[in-house]
Structures are given as C-alpha cells and as structure tokens.
Structure 1
C-alpha cells in the first residue's frame, strides 16, 4: 500500500478500499465489515452487532485481505488506504465453512422445535456455509438452563458464545447481569447469581441472540414466523413513541418487536412496550355496549347505547358537562372530542388527568433538544424523575452520554437507581425541588457544558408543587443555556395539547373538585388513572357518566351509566405525537374484540346522534383531512393547598402499573421491577414514628387512608414518604402531605 492516498479527492478522514473489486470510501478507523455493510456487500457474522462493542470471537466474518497471510476477521480489522479485500474467495469461503463446522459441533439439531426456527441467523447461514454431513461423532455437550424471569426463555445448549447478550446488558442496559463463566469448551453464558434479569430492557437480548438460546417466553410455542403478518405500530406507554412491529396471526397480536428508527428508539424496545400486548386480552375487556338500569348492567345494541349516551349529554350540556380523556388518546380521537365538546357548549375539557398543579396553565411541549441528542449531551440534569422507569430508552441515551464523559446530576426526592454514576445529586423533599434548582454549584456545572440538558419528569410535573418547579426549571435553562426537556405526561400529551383537548373553563382537577352533572370519560380507568382518585370517584359517582372504555373494569362499572367499548392502539389506525413533537402513525394490527369499535367511529356516530357539526366525514381519510392543529390557551387552575405537618408524599409512577393495558400484562406483573405497594421512609422519619422495616403503617391523607408495608431507606429525603402510583392500595394518598403511624 502506497504512502500516497489512492484517491486524493477524499475527505482527510476517509480512505479508499476495494471490496470484491468495488472501490469505495470508508472512514478512517472503521472496520472492514462496516465498509462492506455500507456498500451492501454481505459478510456472514454472529458476534458482530453495530450497536455493541467488537468482540471478534465467532470468526464467522473471516475474509481474505491482500498481503495478509491468514484470513482476517472483518469485524476487527480496520480499513487502510488502498486495502484490497475479497469476501468470496476460496480461502475466505473455506475459512467461513470451517468456522461453521466448529459452531455446529455442539449445537443441538432441534430446529423443528426451536422457537427461533425460521428466523435464526445460524440456521440461515448454515444453509450456505454448512456441510451436508457432520464429521463429529462424539457426544454433544449439554448446558443446564437458567430461569431468567418471566420474559426471557432460555435453552443455553444452543448458545454459540457470541456474547452479544453479555455486551448488551453491560453496555446498553448498564446492569451487567450476564457474563461468561468457566473456560474453553466449558464456557457458559448466564447470570452470575442465578436470579431473573432485572433490567427494564431485558427483551432486547432476544433480538440480539443469533440462535435460539434466548427467546420470548410469552410468545414461546405460539406460532412460527411464517404464519405472522407484521404491522407497523407504536409504543404507547410513554411519550417516546417507540417504533415497533406487531406480529399478528388471524387478528391476534402475538408479539411486538422493534422497528429501527435512529431518531426515536434506535433498534431497541423497552419491556413495557414489548410485552404489554398481553393486556389486550384481559378478561374484563369491554366487548359490547352496556347500559345500567336500576343499578344493574346489561348488554345492549349500539343504537340503544348511543341514544342513551346522547340523552345524557343533551340533558347536561354547557358548564354542567365535563369531558376527560386519557393522555394516550390518539390525535384523531382527541380532535373529535374537542369538536364534540364545542358542539355541546362546554369548556370543561382536559387530558391532564394525572396532574395536581395546573395553576400555571402548563401544557405538554416537545423537547427543546431532540431525544436522540441526549446521547451527545455533556451535562444532563434530571429533575423530579425516576428516568429509568419513566422513559427507559431516554435513560439509555443518557447512559450513552455518560459513557462518553457527560456529567449527570439529579435533583430528586429519592436517590433513584440509575445505570450511570452521578456527578452530583440533591436529594430533597418535593417542596424543596424548586429551590434546589437555584443552587449556584449546580448552575455552574450546567454552564460548564456546551450541550447541557435539563430533563423534568413525572415527580416534578405531577406533584402539588409542579408550577413552582416548572418556573424554576425554565429559569435554570435560561440562566445556563440548557435545553429544557419536560417529559410529556402521557403517550400523546403533546398531540392532545395541539389538537385542543384543553380547558377554556375548568381543568381536570377543577371539574372533579367542583362536581359536574355529567361526565364523558375517554379511555380512563377511574380507580387508578386520576391524580386524586378519591375526588374523581366521588364526583363521577354522583353524576351521570358516559364511558368510552377499553375495559369494563370494576371502577368503570361503579361510576358509569353507559359503557361504549373502543379499541386500543394496536387495534386501530391512529396518529400519536411523540416527545419530539413528531406525528407518527400506527396501523391496526389486532382485531377488535366483540362489538368494540375504533374510537373515532364511535365518536362520529355519537356526533351524528347529537346532530353536531363536523361529523359528516365517512372514513378515516376524511377525518384526517378535516383535522387541523389548533391553539388553545388553557385556563389556569387552582393551586393545591400546601397543607401543614406530617410527611410530604413523593409519588412516582410504577413502571409496570402506568396504564390499564400494562396493569393487565401478566408477564410484566411478574417482573422483579414490579414491586408490591409499599411506603418507603427515611430512617430518621421511621424512627420518630416508631416504624421499622417490614412493619405495617397507616398513612392518612385528606382524601383517605392507606395501610401499607413500610420499607426504610436512606435514599428517601427526610420528611418524605415515597410511594408508587398505579396500585389500589396507594391510590388514596395521591400527593401532598400525610400523617403516618403504626397500623
């Protein structure tokens, strides 16, 4: 190879290489396999993955390089100017076939019963590089299986030690749960302690595994890949809007797998989005229109149910009506709800059902810096958020920034477990978070970075001090130049704000604290989805309620007069707006259960029954053509009463209790991260109250009393009790202050 560049017109950070006679430019320091992939030249591989570090331990990618005496691994050989590579020469092919023979020496020939059959990389490559007859006559080794929890099934005899799963848990998930044990032919991949995987991203080891060693336990033995149809859809359990495929057989959603989108979820998927489809098939799905007569529920026709609903709405129009929507409601449905509320003359319309303090009229807004740029930040300040549970893949991007040298700071009422080290932290009671953002040292740390980001999460947005924290965060961002990224509280909170699902009169808390004569609730599980459960159930219980519902659950039956069954996102065509402000479309995958209908169809029928304008479209295309984003300046709500004495409540969202669908996904409920409801106290507070770890405490709030097991941890700020929402046992507490004592 000449010292002079082969092509002097290339940028200085590129070199010229020749792969199978094709001349191409490749960045200096990149590997042969990366250059070949860019050019569309296939090189077989097992251990290489473009999102993981290079291991070079399978040797399947051996290629012939001019002037090199032995075949070189394409994944670990850097390109050089003028390098000539041949991927299909006799030497390269013989080397690849020899490697394949060694890989199959101990691999069980159980393809007919392997769940990976039909989409197995080893199976595919063995067709081109394997021998028709094995020369190996000795006994194959057997590796005992390990229970990795409710999500990942194991058959470790099939493992080829590519270590992709090991590298994923170490580098991407950051939990270091898998590793190689023993040496040589006795090498085994497994957990070090024999416990289930605890990472919230564990399902991705299934995707990176090139064989059937790690498979989807929920999908196990359900179908073969060639029986499935892929439908483009979205994750709808957080505001990221992860891109995914639903794999469907005869209308049944059997699994979800990631759909590559570098700007959103890269090639990963959180367990919450991957396994929540189980919740579609819960026993209490609403499958037929229902009406309540003399306190008894009966199924009825759509005509009867819509007529009953229309009568309730006619009799309680204008200010007597409140309209409440779940923040995962699609843009199409939200636009129709706003249209219907306008036709009925009510300004009591809101989707911010989980927020206590709307005194500053705050609405969800897109991130000031795209989520993909989190991994490029050099300073990140996390405020009021258990980011790992709230936005698992945004947390993973912050971890990536940390591995590149970023300084991460946290201002929280609880010292949450992150998979990166904190450069600084302020653990303070919820009422003190706003003041903590004024700390000069924290501001100086943010100003030291060129790309600083402040991330505001659910504990900040949903608590009784939210307005003050938002104001302090905005001041912090203005003073330091940091990009302010407020996490939208709901998968489509940004979209619903853009489409006018906001109050011009009473907000969500206002229309529940000052009860209306009737309510229309959309996609809400009343017993668990509201910020103040007690106030919500009281207001709904004494009013007439039309419930557009996915589930005919106990709390919905308790408060509703009419239940109109509607489809969930995997069952409908819909548009959601993610935290970057980008509209993303989902296609219907699963079939609607029973007589359930897409929500926009039911709203169109109800609008027609009421004679409301704007409901004369005939299909979804017509609806979308008529929908235009609208700017609504919501009215400011009342600030919650501060309260005095007792302990402040820090209420974070339980990772697998965040919405009705997730709460019904059996595998997620069995996950180690899904803890039983409990109250966690600072040791000093526990001692002063006479409570010890494992005791049962009574916690009295203005809305009710909760009896909970007590855990004691110095990670909780003094004067604070930490609970997780989404549980019936913690629902009476909400936020604010509680009086605590022994039960």
Structure 2
C-alpha cells in the first residue's frame, strides 16, 4: 500500500493501482468516457486529465499508476482547463439531437458538458456525419454521436471473445463498424448498449418507446438459465421497456446475456393466455377463475387411484410455485412429480446430492486452472458461465471437452473429443483409465476390469495431467450429457475422474431453478413412498396429468411420447402463461398463470444463491401468480397448511425446513461427489444414425421462444438438420436439400445443412424447434430420406 494525496485528502492505495481507481475508492469524482473498470485501459478520450505535482502537463488518471507520496489535484485551474478543452473538442462534431436521443437523461456527455462545457463554441464549420450501419436485430446505431471511446470494441475482444466491432480511420474520420458489414452475433452483444456513454448504440427493440425519466427501475433476476444473473427491469405504465445488467461480482459481474436482456418481448405474444379455459363437449369455453379451479379440482378428485395422477413441472418456475405444487400433489396422495423434462436415464437417482450444483461460487469458475466439460455447449447454454470460463482461459487454464459437435467456443480448447453420443461412455472409460494409471490410490471395485480394454491416447493423458496438476480444476456435466440414455453411467465415470484428479464435480443444470426443484422436493424420490419420474409417467400412460409451466411439444425430451400419453389420459390440467392449438388438443382445463416478471418469487441458482425478487410488470389480463393459484387449489382439496398470504411466507417456511440463513444455502466441494458403484458397460453396438438434440439458446422456454428480436438473430435460425460431409456423401445428400427425418413412425421434412463440426454417423436435429415437435427421443436412432425438392437455407 502507498499513500497519496488527492485534492488535499490523504488516500491509501495499492501499489500499481491506477489513479482513477484510487480516486473512485476514496469517493473523489473524476470525469471519464473511455475508462471502465472491467475493460482494459485505452486512455483515448483524455477526459480524465488531472494535475500531478512535478508533472509538466496534465496526465490521464486512468493510465497513471499511483506512487508513494504522489500529490494530485483534479480541480485545479490547470486540470479544469484541460478537462474543458477535451469537452469542447468532443462537442465539435457531436450532433445536438438530445431531444430525440434514447440516451437523453442518462448520457455521460450531457452530464459532463454541464460541469465542463462552455456556453459557446469556437467551431463554425459543418459537423461530420457518419453513415449508420445495420449490425443486427438487437442494436441500433447512431454513429454520428460516437465519441470514439472504443468501449464497445474492447468489450467484444475482452469479454464477449468476438472482435465484431473495430475502428477504421484516424482522428475525426475514425469510424466504428463491423467487419465487412456483418451483424453483431455475440450472445452477450447487448452489453455494449449499457457501456456506450452516449447515444451511439441503443436498443433496437425499445427504440423511441420511452424517456428514461418515465421508467421505474426494479431489481430482478434472469430466469432463462441456471446462473441467475442480476438485472434491472425498467417499466413504463406496467409494461417492460428494457432490461439492463446489474452488478454482482459473485455471479455476473455486470454483464447479462442477450437472452436475459431481450426475452421480455415474448410477454406480449399473441399466444398469451388471459382467461381460464375449460373444455366441455369438445369445445373450449372461457369461464371464471372460481369455475375453472373447481373444475380442475373435481377432475383430479374423480381419479380414485391418486397414483394414476402425474405432475410434470418446469425447472424454471419460482421456488414458491415448486414448493406448493409438490405440497399439493403429496397432499392428495400423489408422489408422481418431477421437473426433469429432458432426462431419460433415472437409474442413478439414489446417487443424487441434495441438489445439483457447481460446488463453488459462479465467480470461482474464472479461477479454475483446468476443466473437463462433458456434453456441454456452455457458451450458448449458460452465456455468463461461458464468459467466466473464458476469463479462466485467458489466465492460462487448460479446457477440454467431450462433445458430439465441435462448437465455436470463444476460448482456446486444449483437447476436443468429438464423438457420437453413443460413444461417450467409451470415451470416459479411456479418460478414467488414464486417471487410474496416474493415480496412486487403489482402484474402486470393478473399475480396473471395466476400463481394461479402453484405449488411452496422448490427448486423454494430457487432459488428465492438466486436471491433476492444477491447483483448482473442475469436471462439469453439461445439460446435453444429462439428457443422454446412459447418463447415470457417464456421471459415475465423471465422478471418478474428478476424484482421481482432485477436481470438483459440477453440474450445469437445465432451466433457471433446478437447484430449487431438488430442495423443494419436486422429485418422485423426495418422500418415502417413491413415485414415478417423468419418463415413467409418460411411458405408463396415467389417467390424469398436471402440467405446470410446460409446453409439451417443446419442453419434454420425447414429444411423440408426450402427445400419446396426454391424448389417452382422462383428464389433463395445464397451468401456463401461453396457449397454443397443440396445447388445447390434449388439455381439459387451462389456467393462466403469470409470467415470472409478473409475480414475486425466488430463484436458486446453480451455486446455491437464494435470490428473491418482486413483481416488476402488470399481470396479463386475468392471469394470476402461480403460487396464489396453487394456494387456492390446496384449499379446495382441503389440505392443511395452505393459508399463505404472501410469497415471503412460503419461502420463509422452506428456508426454515432447509436451515438456510442469510439468503444463501451452503455448497461444498464434496457435496457433488458420487458414491462409487461400478456401472454396467453401456457401450453401444448400434450401427444406425444417432440424433443429436441440443436445445438451442433461444428455444429454452416459452418466453424466449416468442421474443421477436431474438428470433431474428443468427443463433435462432435452427430449423434444419446437420450432417458432416462424409455422411452426406455416403447418403448421397446435398447441402440445402429438403430431406425427410424419421424416428419410429414419426416423420418430418426439414432442410439439410452440411457441417463438418458434426460427429460421424450423427444427425444434428435440435430439440425445442417446430420441426422436432412430432419426433421421438433426442438421442434415439434417426433416418434421413432424400426428397426431390431443394430449399435454400438462407430463405
């Protein structure tokens, strides 16, 4: 530590710390445009010029490290003259269009011009004009306003990992643009809007829809992945106008994904359900809430054997809703309740920890020195975790992947094992054997025999060596791996690899609230009388179903199986914020529950952080918060303990039962380790083509699927199948050709794309898309049949 003096005030600062950081810590304001604490130092705006004793001229505070005894003055005559000169220079070409600028009222240039600007200009020439560029459906440009701070350029290179924006020209002719007029496609791109200190980059989604002083700001939580990014939702007249990042260094720094930023558009979809519906004599009727609730309760009461009722819950609804749903179902005598919509292998249920999680804080991902990710496209599944992993990579971390697609990651990959899903078990056997050879500990029972025939390559050995030699390392099971038919066996081997290399076993869970589903008991194994899991409920064909927050065509692993089970059921209750013709086909009563931004609640992220939030927007028509609907249904069933008056009462009851204090449950490195039980050899001998059913980034839930702007992005163009060129040649198929994809008796016509990032003998056909809504399991065998017509993918 060193001692410096700023404006006559003694300040303690760290040796080597920049002067502007020391001033900020001491609460001394220094104007700035280009400086940002999470970006590299550019020192190109010069607005932070200050006077330093013995320095011949003012120097930039953002690029000047402190030294012991330094004397600084930020408000001296020399400093103020320099700052005012810079402000005059910046205003030479800046347009005077504040009345029509979306940044008006929160513009740094406006604010600083009041303190450092003059009342007249020496510049009489015409101002420059810069042609605006179309950089995609999310961000609008007004580049004449640009002051060349380059925050957006540095963000793309340093945080997003994609240098999509850059500068050409010099001086006043410098322009910010994209490479050969390309769009900006990063999944974190919207953060450059928050970073821009002027109105050069604004939201295309909410352009000219508000003035900033008309907005009310509300802290909230991102509800589209397991990270729980902190955000601020801004509302006008009860309608969400924009979402911006909110700083939380333990979770998301101050960044949010485009999915969290723009998905609110889906709340205004034409498919929102505004009134309760019941089906009578095959016709849908709008009814009152009282009638609809009584109809739903009577229908479930009519099922004499309550073990013939199944409840399937979304992993993204609030903790309060999960808790009351399982409490209601068990109150009527039914333990068939589950949230695992895409999992098909439940043989390892007994090995589950208290909840699936990272085993560490989100921010600790950036501190790992080595990682092995199994079945994960982390960049698109959980963009903020992808960012954290990139920060680890920039510090030298060695990252390895076992996947069926060679994904375009934003960081260096040490080893990339690209194989068909059916070969994952063999690949993990090879890694386990490499770990066994390196470990000095005795082999667990049966492991040596299991891996005896496994072939270990130099890449396998290198991966294990990197994990074992790292001080902090992690083995992650991604959401793709958790959907595979041999998930339990994969997890067992992954657990051994983690243990043998002294790594943390982690889970990247689907949905926004999977951890809460475990803690609240939305599992068939959560009571002594074990019920049926999702797969068993649908395979057995029960008499009644309660679907909560679930769209059956898109959210569950095998849509064909779901349709078959629901169509044969006597009674189906659906509680959702949306309604479609496909939903109406199999339901008997549909209850409109509020979207997550329209009700208070709590989400528990993958690191165990309990994060509560209030309603931020008005409810759609007659929709009601889900916890209130469940509370009334519990009363109609005459179940004790359904007298809650607020969501806070519910969450406090749950916290008390889980001994949670200070809004955060405890996680430990050992909590995710699996007790060893040698898995059966699940090596597949199938020679048919295998489908790869990854869930695309903008198809993860009902709100995101209906977000207009997000679905215009490049990442949203997923209505096609992919095979590599070798398989295409073998099947005599051409790029952009329309083919028939067949699983069992179900077929669909879809455009084919040839992509050599796909593993051999595999067909990449995503889940959650329209084309897959009638197909079978995501990792089942699949056929491709040529048709005569061709379709241009771009069209």
Q: Normalising by the residue count of structure 2, what TM-score does the alignment of the two structures yield?
A: 0.89
1:436 is aligned to 2:427: yes
Q: Equivalents in 2 of 1:642, 1:461: separation in Å?
A: 17
Aligned pairs (5 A) from 1:274-313: 274-313=261-300
Q: Equivalents in 2 of 1:449, 1:434: separation in Å?
A: 25
Q: Equivalents in 2 of 1:175, 1:433: separation in Å?
A: 30
Specify the alignment match of 1:8 in structure 2: none
1:195 is aligned to 2:182: yes
Aligned pairs (5 A) from 1:636-675: 644-675=686-717
1:702 is aligned to 2:760: no
Q: Report SS of the residue matched to 1:666.
A: coil
State the Cα distance separating 1:302 from its structure 2 match. Answer: 0.7
Specify the alignment match of 1:4 in structure 2: none
Aligned pairs (5 A) from 1:68-87: 68-87=55-74
1:553-583 deviation digits (Å, cap 9, x = unpaired): 2222111111111111111100010010111
State the Cα distance separating 1:231 from its structure 2 match. Answer: 1.1
Specify the alignment match of 1:52 in structure 2: 39
Specify the alignment match of 2:439 in structure 1: none
Of 365, 371, 378, the match for 2:362: 371
Q: Equivalents in 1 of 2:216, 2:684: separation in Å?
A: 53
- 2:425 touches 2:683 (CA, 8 Å); kept in 1? no
Aligned pairs (5 A) from 1:389-428: 389-428=380-419
1:315 is aligned to 2:341: no
Specify the alignment match of 2:225 in structure 1: 238
1:593 is aligned to 2:637: no
Of 437, 454, 458, the match for 2:475: 454
Q: Equivalents in 2 of 1:210, 1:455: separation in Å?
A: 38
More displaced 10-residue stretch of structure 1: 126-135 or 359-368: 359-368
1:532-563 deviation digits (Å, cap 9, x = unpaired): 11111111122111111110122221111111
Q: Equivalents in 2 of 1:177, 1:378: separation in Å?
A: 28
Q: Equivalents in 2 of 1:147, 1:639: separation in Å?
A: 53
Q: Equivalents in 2 of 1:618, 1:349: separation in Å?
A: 25
Q: Report SS of the residue matched to 1:459.
A: helix
Which consecutive residues of structure 1, in runs of 5 or more, have no partner in the other structure? 1-13
Specify the alignment match of 2:534 in structure 1: 508
Aligned pairs (5 A) from 1:185-264: 185-264=172-251
State the Cα distance separating 1:705 from its structure 2 match. Answer: 2.1
1:110-148 deviation digits (Å, cap 9, x = unpaired): 000001001111111111111112221100000000001
Q: Equivalents in 2 of 1:643, 1:285: separation in Å?
A: 46
Cα 1:628–1:345 shift into 2, 3 Å: farther
1:581 is aligned to 2:605: no
Aligned pairs (5 A) from 1:79-158: 79-158=66-145
Aligned pairs (5 A) from 1:445-484: 445-484=466-505
Specify the alignment match of 2:512 in structure 1: 491
Provide the aligned length of Structure 1 versus Structure 2: 725
State the Cα distance separating 1:66 from its structure 2 match. Answer: 0.6
Q: Equivalents in 1 of 2:160, 2:649: separation in Å?
A: 43
Aligned pairs (5 A) from 1:17-56: 17-56=4-43
Specify the alignment match of 1:354 in structure 2: 342
- 1:521 touches 1:546 (CA, 8 Å); kept in 2? yes
State the Cα distance separating 1:270 from its structure 2 match. Answer: 0.2
State the Cα distance separating 1:641 from its structure 2 match. Answer: 12
Cα 1:596–1:641 shift into 2, 3 Å: farther
Q: Report SS of the residue matched to 1:711.
A: strand
State the Cα distance separating 1:501 from its structure 2 match. Answer: 0.6
Q: Equivalents in 2 of 1:315, 1:381: separation in Å?
A: 51
Of 620, 644, 657, the match for 2:647: 620
Cα 1:220–1:450 shift into 2, 3 Å: same
- 1:322 touches 1:518 (CA, 8 Å); kept in 2? yes
Aligned pairs (5 A) from 1:662-741: 662-702=704-744, 704-731=746-773, 732-733=775-776, 734-741=778-785
Q: Equivalents in 1 of 2:321, 2:548: separation in Å?
A: 9
Q: Equivalents in 1 of 2:171, 2:216: separation in Å?
A: 41
Specify the alignment match of 1:340 in structure 2: 328
- 1:569 touches 1:586 (CA, 8 Å); kept in 2? no
1:527 is aligned to 2:553: yes
1:169-215 deviation digits (Å, cap 9, x = unpaired): 01100111000011222100110211110100110010110000000
State the Cα distance separating 1:433 from its structure 2 match. Answer: 1.9
Q: Equivalents in 1 of 2:86, 2:681: separation in Å?
A: 68
Q: Report SS of the residue matched to 1:498.
A: helix
Specify the alignment match of 1:517 in structure 2: 543
- 2:235 touches 2:242 (CA, 8 Å); kept in 1? yes
Cα 1:342–1:159 shift into 2, 3 Å: same
Q: Equivalents in 2 of 1:703, 1:46: separation in Å?
A: 61
More displaced 10-residue stretch of structure 1: 615-624 or 374-383: 615-624
Q: Equivalents in 2 of 1:641, 1:431: separation in Å?
A: 7
- 1:642 touches 1:736 (CA, 8 Å); kept in 2? no
Specify the alignment match of 1:9 in structure 2: none
Q: Equivalents in 2 of 1:226, 1:709: separation in Å?
A: 48
Q: Equivalents in 2 of 1:555, 1:538: separation in Å?
A: 12
- 2:359 touches 2:504 (CA, 8 Å); kept in 1? yes
Q: Equivalents in 2 of 1:392, 1:603: separation in Å?
A: 33
Specify the alignment match of 1:11 in structure 2: none
Q: Report SS of the residue matched to 1:595.
A: coil
- 2:421 touches 2:779 (CA, 8 Å); kept in 1? no
Which consecutive residues of structure 2, in runs of 5 or more, have no partner in the other structure? 435-460, 525-529, 659-676, 788-795
State the Cα distance separating 1:154 from its structure 2 match. Answer: 0.3
State the Cα distance separating 1:629 from its structure 2 match. Answer: 7.2
Specify the alignment match of 1:327 in structure 2: 315
Specify the alignment match of 2:527 in structure 1: none
- 2:718 touches 2:766 (CA, 8 Å); kept in 1? no
More displaced 10-residue stretch of structure 1: 415-424 or 642-651: 642-651
Cα 1:51–1:628 shift into 2, 3 Å: closer
Q: Equivalents in 1 of 2:326, 2:480: separation in Å?
A: 28
Cα 1:228–1:643 shift into 2, 3 Å: farther
- 1:435 touches 1:472 (CA, 8 Å); kept in 2? no
Q: Equivalents in 2 of 1:624, 1:404: separation in Å?
A: 39
State the Cα distance separating 1:254 from its structure 2 match. Answer: 1.0
Q: Report SS of the residue matched to 2:552.
A: coil
More displaced 10-residue stretch of structure 1: 676-685 or 391-400: 676-685
- 2:602 touches 2:651 (CA, 8 Å); kept in 1? no
Q: Report SS of the residue matched to 1:551.
A: coil
State the Cα distance separating 1:625 from its structure 2 match. Answer: 3.5
- 2:39 touches 2:151 (CA, 8 Å); kept in 1? yes
Q: Equivalents in 2 of 1:536, 1:468: separation in Å?
A: 26
Cα 1:77–1:641 shift into 2, 3 Å: closer
- 2:214 touches 2:236 (CA, 8 Å); kept in 1? yes
Q: Report SS of the residue matched to 1:652.
A: coil
More displaced 10-residue stretch of structure 1: 98-107 or 216-225: 216-225
- 2:357 touches 2:606 (CA, 8 Å); kept in 1? yes
Q: Report SS of the residue matched to 1:470.
A: helix
Specify the alignment match of 1:606 in structure 2: 633
Q: Report SS of the residue matched to 1:729.
A: helix
Q: Equivalents in 2 of 1:370, 1:297: separation in Å?
A: 48
